[in-house]
């Protein structure tokens, strides 16, 4: 299942590496990232050099890691390090509330498909684009071959499309 990080304040070195192990990073305006490995002569061992590079690109990862300087929430969001920045001026729990809201939204979906979709994203990200597409098709075919047995998934989808449980827009005209 996806792991959502609710981040406030300083996210430094080991905490930075732990945050990068998460699937979705939510922060507020106080969130600041800092990689201090080079400042103290430490080697990253929990994946920061690889995960940060994949998340924000090699040039930006080098800026973050080689300078040991802070990256504030607005820049982190602009660079794709933070997935969302929430306004916590009205509530000290705004970051956590948003993380729970996302978790609830994810939990309403088919958990098997969420896990498989996550796998397709993770495996495909490490491949060339065309190989990632091929892997997605392979995983998709394996999924459909497994679930077609009783046909329930397709029946559920048909009911959703035609049923009253589907959210509908109301016209303002």
pTM: 0.79
> Is residue 106 within 8 Å of 38, Cβ to Cβ?
no
- Say what the pLDDT of residue 140 is: 84
Q: What is the DSSP letter of 127?
A: S
Residues of the chain with pLDDT under 50: none
Instruction: Please tell me the distance from the alpha carbon of residue 4 to that of residue 26, in angstroms, as a whole number.
Output: 7
- Say what the pLDDT of residue 98 is: 96
Listed residue (31, 41, 35) closest to 6, CA to CA: 31
- Say what the pLDDT of residue 97 is: 95
Q: What is the DSSP letter of 80?
A: T
Strand partners, 4: 24
Measured CA to CA in angstroms, residue 119 lies from 57, 136, 140 at distances of 21, 9, 11
- Say what the pLDDT of residue 136 is: 87
Instruction: Please tell me the distance from the alpha carbon of residue 134 to that of residue 38, in angstroms, as a whole number.
Output: 39
């Amino acid at each position: 299942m996806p792991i959502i990080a609710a981040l406030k304040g300083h996210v430094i070195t080991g905490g930075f590496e732990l945050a990068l192990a998460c699937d979705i990073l939510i922060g507020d305006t106080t969130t600041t990232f800092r990689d201090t490995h080079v400042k103290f002569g430490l080697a990253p061992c929990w994946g920061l050099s690889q995960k940060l590079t994949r998340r924000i690109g090699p040039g930006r990862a080098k800026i973050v890691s080689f300078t040991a300087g802070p990256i504030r929430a607005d820049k982190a969001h602009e660079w794709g390090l933070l997935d969302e920045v929430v306004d916590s001026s009205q509530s000290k729990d705004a970051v956590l509330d948003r993380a729970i809201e996302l978790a609830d939204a994810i939990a309403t979906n088919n958990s098997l498909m969420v896990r498989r979709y996550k796998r397709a994203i993770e495996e495909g990200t490490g491949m060339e684009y065309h190989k990632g597409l091929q892997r997605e098709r392979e995983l998709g075919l394996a999924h459909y071959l497994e679930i077609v047995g009783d046909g329930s998934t397709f029946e559920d989808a048909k009911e959703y499309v035609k049923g009253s449980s589907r959210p509908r827009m109301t016209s303002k005209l």
